Chains A and B, each alone.
Chain A
Amino acid sequence: MRRGLISWSKAELPESVLDARIARAQAAMAQAGIDILAIYTNPARESGVAWLAGFIPYWNQCVLLLPRAGRPVLVAGMTARVRDWIMRNGHLADVTNTTRIGAETGRLVAQQKSGATVAIADIESVPGSVVDGIRANAASVIDGSALLEQVRAPSDPAELAFAFKAAGIAHAALAAASGRETDGARLVGAIDGAARRNGAEEVYVALATDLAASRRLIRLEGTAALGPRFAARVSLAYKGTWVRMVRTLGRDAMLADDLASATSQFATGLAALPQTDRLKRFAGFLIEGCRTTTPLEPLVGSMLADARALAPGTVVTVQATIETDGRTILIGAPVLIGRNGEAASALIAPQFDTAE
């Protein structure tokens, strides 16, 4: 559950930007004959509602209903005591607080329009109780995922600015990690604290505590000793926009040379995106991004059987495992996929000062 900074900054996300997004969605709805677009949100699936209304739930679940005209309304699982907080932090016409979220969503659908056609984004992932509540009060219910994906891409300047800010926070957080550190919990504390102090809404830190033993990035419970070479991944959000960044660090003599080589190879791989041929030469890679409501959806990767298209003008996160003579480097950074023939570029280079 979220406990970082959650607040709608109208300086960074003006109402006019959200109005423009709403207008784009409503134009697409009109064209598709959709009366209401329903977007489910919770702390693990926040991206659709955060994009359209700027609202991020710190816990619990909500459903946003966007009619063909006007601002959206929110059906919130939180009690009425946080109603004012929700209204302050979302571009909403109204909020209804309820513990019966499916039934109340259905009631509002019927109230908005009798015999409505309702599109639900990511319908198969939405709780059945919500879908059933809507279905019981609508003439037809369809999947709204393609519509939401279509209106979200390419990212607008405000969304890109959030991604750049998130990337900067991630870089600063990993820069707070010391290669001389020997205790995993202390390393996690340094990264987590730095990210939150810089305004991260949420932070997840995963470590591969000894790359000679395992490349797997896990969350520590308690602590663990750090080996001569280890890696840290920070996944964080700023105002609903998520990025990941990965840094390998440690005390072994070959690290600096391996990092220089891996960083160069990684940069070459990134520049070639959306083509992934160069990334396929690595021991492993994964590209994640947000298309609809899920923040970091797997798009393309060495462990994925199928691939999703990388939309031009959107931000993705790329992670790679690069081997040099049996020694491992884990590296990762957020990347902007180029538009109109422009090359892809890292939002912030995953390079760190290794002199400590």
Chain B
Amino acid sequence: MLAKERRERLLAEMRREGLEAIVVYGTSWQEAYLRYVSDFAILEGDGIAILRADGTCRLIVENMAEAERAGGEAAGVETTFARNLGRAVADALESVSNQRLMAAPRALLPAWLTAGERSFKLEDGAPLLDRLLMEKMPSEIAAMRRATALADEGYEFFRHAARPGRKQYEVVADVEAFLRQRGSPDNFMIIGSGNADVRGMAPPSERKLKRGDLVTTELTPAIDGYLSQICRTLVLGKATPVQQQAFAVWHEAMEAGIAAVKPGLTAADIARVENDVFRRHGLGEYTTSKYTRVRGHGLGLSTDVKPSLLEDVEIELRPGMTIIVHPNTYHPEAGYMVLGDVVVVTQTGCERLTRTPAQLFEMPV
């Protein structure tokens, strides 16, 4: 149902733009465009979908297992396997080469498709698709609510799974199993544990959790393809005064950022509000790319849809956007800390979807 609604919305945009076809590329870390168009969640290899103005959708994948899966998962899509994705798509576009075509993301298209000698021209379709990905329909926001609720449950599970003596990857394995049992097929998750020596989160390692560790995680389960996120920090034991004071800055920054979210402001405005809190506390250095990637970002059919909350991103906030505000970064005495809640932009401000308390959790050991 969601897939049908998305495709109808895109087809209406294509009619408005006079497009004959839109070509979207997807791979496991850049899945949103492909999922939007074909409703296929690609895992292995690359895939490209071609949606024609008449509503027909063709998906070409380069992995046989994915072709089999897509045949059962992507309703209303004709799926084929091709050893050479670029050439297969080029062949498919020959018959419409004199018409208006768009593709996204162009920078990731196989080299064969973008070579100058092709008979067709692929305009940049990312602005159109990014807008649809960002400004969600009510049914998409409902899916985001369900995914956020699962993120809350997942974090509750994580808190109790993270115990001294356990290796990072064992804790993550338990969370993944919990999410699979709850019907979530996908999750993006990174983790950090330790103290001032920890400068960021990464995939789980063999490191054993220890008493006194700050344990950070970004947990991002998917429901019906929509990924929502939670960022929290816990202490294995009692938090030290340094940890508590540091966390208070993170909390102040996140709350200030969320309070500022409303239509008409830009992503840069929200990032600036968060970073101003750090600057007031003498921690401005830690808001730069040396220590942090973004101060939050959009969520939806991938873990990282636009807009990125950065002081140089002038994308305007609009109703229907779902965003996580997370002032995650390094603190020179406490180490890397994270805190982030998901909000949906409303007509007048925003509604917080995350229910987990925004606190530094102290776990008895």
Q: A residues near B, CB below 8 A?
A: 1-7, 42-45, 58-61, 79-82, 84-85, 102, 123-132, 185-186, 188-190, 192-197, 199, 203-206, 214, 216-223, 233, 235, 244, 286, 288, 294-298, 301, 303-304, 306
Contact = CB atoms under 8 A, between A and B. Distances in A.
Contact of B199 (A81, A286, A294, A297): A81
Contacts of A298: 63-64, 81, 83
Given A102-B107, A197-B173, A217-B72, 14 more contacts: A4-B172, A6-B203, A81-B291, A81-B293, A124-B86, A127-B107, A185-B181, A185-B182, A188-B180, A192-B176, A216-B71, A221-B41, A294-B45, A295-B44
A196 B172 contact: yes
B206 A128 contact: no
Contact of A196 (B87, B177, B190, B205): B177
B158 interface: no
Given A58-B190, A197-B170, A295-B44, A128 B111 contact: yes
Interface in B24-71: 27-29, 41-46, 62-65, 68-69, 71
B182 to A, nearest CB: 7
Nearest to A79: B293
Contacts of A219: 41, 43, 69, 73, 185
Contacts of B187: 3
A42 B224 CA distance: 24
Interface in B179-226: 179-183, 185, 187-190, 199-200, 202-206, 224-225
A237 to B, nearest CB: 11
Contacts of B111: 123-128, 130-132
B114 interface: yes
Interface of B: 27-29, 41-46, 62-65, 68-69, 71-73, 81, 83-87, 106-115, 169-170, 172-174, 176-183, 185, 187-190, 199-200, 202-206, 224-225, 289-293, 303
B223 to A, nearest CB: 8
B123 to A, nearest CB: 15
A3 B65 contact: no
A185 B83 CA distance: 32
B220 to A, nearest CB: 9
B183 A185 contact: yes
Contact of B183 (A4, A58, A223): A223
B295 to A, nearest CB: 13
A176 B356 CA distance: 32
